[in-house]
Structures are given as C-alpha cells and as structure tokens.
Amino acid sequence: MSRLCESLIAKSIDVACEDLTFRGVEPDGLIINRSDIDMAAVEFDTQCPNIIKKLPLLSNKRGYEVVQLGNTPFTGTATSMEQGTYKNSWTNTLPLAIIANGPETSADIIDKLANGEFVVILRNKAKGDNGKSEYQIYGFYQGLRATAGENDKYSDDTEGGWLVTLTETRAPKSAIFLYDTNAETTKTAYESLKGAA
Amino acid sequence: MSFEEAKVKAERLRGRFDAPFSFSDKKEIEVMYWEVLGKRLSPTNCQQCYHDALIEIYLYLKNNNKMKEKSNYRLRAGFIINTPAFNNGKVYSNANLTDEVAESYLAKYPKQVKMFEVLPKGFSVKSVQTKAKKAEAEAAKKAEEEAKIAAEKEAEAKRLEEEAKKAEAEAEAAGSDEGAGEGTEEGTGEASPEKEGDGEPKTENDAVGEE
C-alpha cells in the first residue's frame, strides 16, 4: 500500500447537461495534475521565455476538460502582483464553479481539488497574433491549490453546487502561454493533452 | 472486443437511449469508444456526452461494418510530431498517426522514442531503421526502374519522330525530283486527292451509287 495520499483528479470538470441549474455558454479549459507533467521534457520557446512550446505529460497521463457555465465563465480569474522583500511575484486566482453535487462529484472532483496541485490552461478570447495569446497556463511554477471551497445550498451563483478557488502564489512570471509554430499546430498540441484521440 | 460483440452491446445500449445511463453503462461506453473508434472518452458527469458517444459508435459500426484499425504506436499526451524536416513539416498527433509514419519518424529520429507511450511488441529502433532502409532502397529501386522505363519510352518516341521526319524529307525530295523531270502543270508532282477521285462523293447520287 502506498504511503502517499494522492490527490489526483479522475474526472473532467464539466457540465451535467441533464442537471442544468442555469443556462450559459460553455467555454472550456484543461486541468492537469501538476505531478503528471514531465517537467524534464518541457520546452520553452527560445525567443520568448513566457512561451512554452511543449508541455508533455508522463506516460498514460492525461489532462481533463474543465467547462464553466455563464456569460462570464471562469469569472474572478485574476493575476495580481505580490510585493516581496527581494523580489516581486505573482498570484494567480482561479475560481471554479462545479454545478453538480453527489457522491461521484465529491469523490472524483471536490475532494481531489481540495488537496491536489494543478495546472490549468484557459483559452483567452483575444487570440493575439497567429493565436499566440490563446492558451494561457496557470499554476505551472507553483501549482494551483485550493484556498477556498464552498457548497452553499442557497447560493444564487452555484445553485447548490460547489465553488472552489484555486490559487497559485509566488509565480515568477506574470503569464505564460502554450504556443507552437502557429495557431493550428498549437491547437493540435492542446488537444493532444486530453489524450483523447 | 470483437465487432459482433460491439454491435450487440451498441444495440442493447441504444434500447435504453431515452433514459439516463447508469454508472456501469457509462463505463461500458467508455470502453467501447476506445475499442471501436480508437479514441478515449473522458469520464464525465454529462449524460448527453455519453449519448453522443453511443451514436458515434453505433454509426461507425453500421457504416463501416468493422472497428477502426488502431495504430501500434501512441504518442504521450502533449507530444505531437511537428518537424519541418519530416514529411514537409506535416503535423501528426494520435488522431492521424499511422504505423508507417511512426516508424519512418523513429527511423530518422531514434532519440524521440521517449515521445511514445505505446510501442509494438518487440519494438527496437534498430529494426525500425532496418525496415526504413529497406523501404527506402525499394522505393529508390522502383524510382530507378520507372525512370529507366520513361527514358526508354522517350528514346523510342524520339526515334519514331526522327524516322517520320526522315521519311517526310525523302518523300519531299522524291517529289521534287519527279516534278523537275516531268514539268507538269501542278509543278509539285504531288497527287491531288480531288483529282485522283479518292472516293469523296461529289453528289448524293454518286454516294448512293458507290454503296
């Protein structure tokens, strides 16, 4: 028996279509257990240090889709600067609303989110030149960890679902992006992280 | 899972299509999705996603009467093949990776074997390289043979053209000799089809008469 209490997410965070509590758009992102990333094989762009060209996962690992409802999906996502004694750093905050509740949701998503360390890739609406700004990576350096979690039965926002806030503190870079060659190639690389094909 | 088994399972699940799928049904669809389509279905809360997946499985089995052939090679998540010097920089992921592409890539870039999480049994870089060399030699031989045939054809065509030209020149020379000797009104000495009466009917009656 392993002595390590793993907190690996095992289910996509998406929408239970049959249990919709309110309507909205479904912008999607990707959540990866940070320990599943093959850090030794990560490749940064030689020209721009804030671009990751290759973000491979370890064998038989995969990323999971994260889908959020509402007109302003992933609302509250922000990056703010923290002043340090010797060096300033960045704090990334990423709230996730899980509009579902039940044993499977609790076991596979909420409990894992509460204790795990994650990397999330969000797709910006502003794509930038040739799609360079589309895929923004959060949690690469320090990992996103849950700093708040709530299940308010009478919440006007989550309608009885869960709201978990993931935070990365002391990240050395303000933002990093996934980008390889062009928009099409980057999309292929992003899709390949799902391990779906 | 065999094709028949997949078909029976898909039919059975299709019968329960209007009701939400149970936990075991979902697991079964995830397995079938991989077996039939060679794609991974991410576990999800979304019932509709499982319905869509089942439709995809069912239609594939119905339209193709077989399960999708899977590549013996599989890239790790996050890795794609994107090398300008390989196949004109075409991008490959697990979605379009074939055994041939994987083998030729690994033969050329053996160190990139770390990009793969699934390799065929008994795989070795050396065997792939040998296979690629053999294929390359065969392709070169074929190209050489094709080039040889093309060259032969070209030479033959050239020869025929030269012969035709020669014959024409000879005919022209003979004609001019005759013309000079006879001193006819036409001058050229060439036979005129109309004057020779080569069968071109002048009237409808002539044509009927000839028939």
> Which residues form the domain of B151?
71-174
Give how far A84 is from chain B: nearest CA, Å: 34
In angstroms, how far is the first alpha carbon of chain A from the final one? 32
The model's pLDDT over B168-192, given as tens digits with 9 standing for 90+, comes to: 998 888 877 766 555 444 444 444 4
Q: Under an 8 A CB cutoff, do A196 and B49 touch?
A: no
Q: Write the ipTM.
A: 0.77
Using the structure block, give the residue that is written with the tokens 């999971």. A64
- Per-residue CA distances from A173 to A39, A44, A113, A131 (Å): 17, 13, 24, 20
In eight-state DSSP terms, residue B119 is -
Is residue B93 located within the same domain as residue B165? yes
Report residue A159 as tokens: 């309608």
Q: Under an 8 A CB cutoff, do B42 and A61 touch?
A: no
Give B125: exposed, middle or buried? Use CB within 10 Å, 0-12, 13-18, 19+: middle
Residue-level pLDDT at A16:
64
Least confident of A13-17, A73-77, A156-160, B19-23: A13-17
Least confident of A70-79, A146-155, B187-196: B187-196
What is the pTM for the complete model shown?
0.71
Is residue B53 located within the same domain as residue B82? no
Q: Is residue A3 part of a domain?
A: no
Residue-level pLDDT at B34:
85
Is residue B32 located within the same domain as residue B101? no
Q: Is residue B198 part of a domain?
A: no
Is residue B155 located within the same domain as residue B120? yes
The model's pLDDT over A80-134, given as tens digits with 9 standing for 90+, comes to: 999 988 888 999 999 999 988 888 889 889 999 999 999 999 999 888 888 888 8
Chain A residues within 8 A of B43 when measuring between CB atoms: 10-12, 108
pLDDT band at B23 (very low <50, low <70, confident <90, very high): confident
Q: Is residue B211 part of a domain?
A: no
Residues near B201 by Cβ (< 8 Å), separated by ≥ 6? Answer: B207, B210
Residue-level pLDDT at A162:
93
> Which residues form the domain of A177?
17-192
Q: Report chain B residues touching chain A, CB-CB < 8 A.
A: 20, 23, 38-49, 75-80, 82, 91, 93-95, 114-115, 117
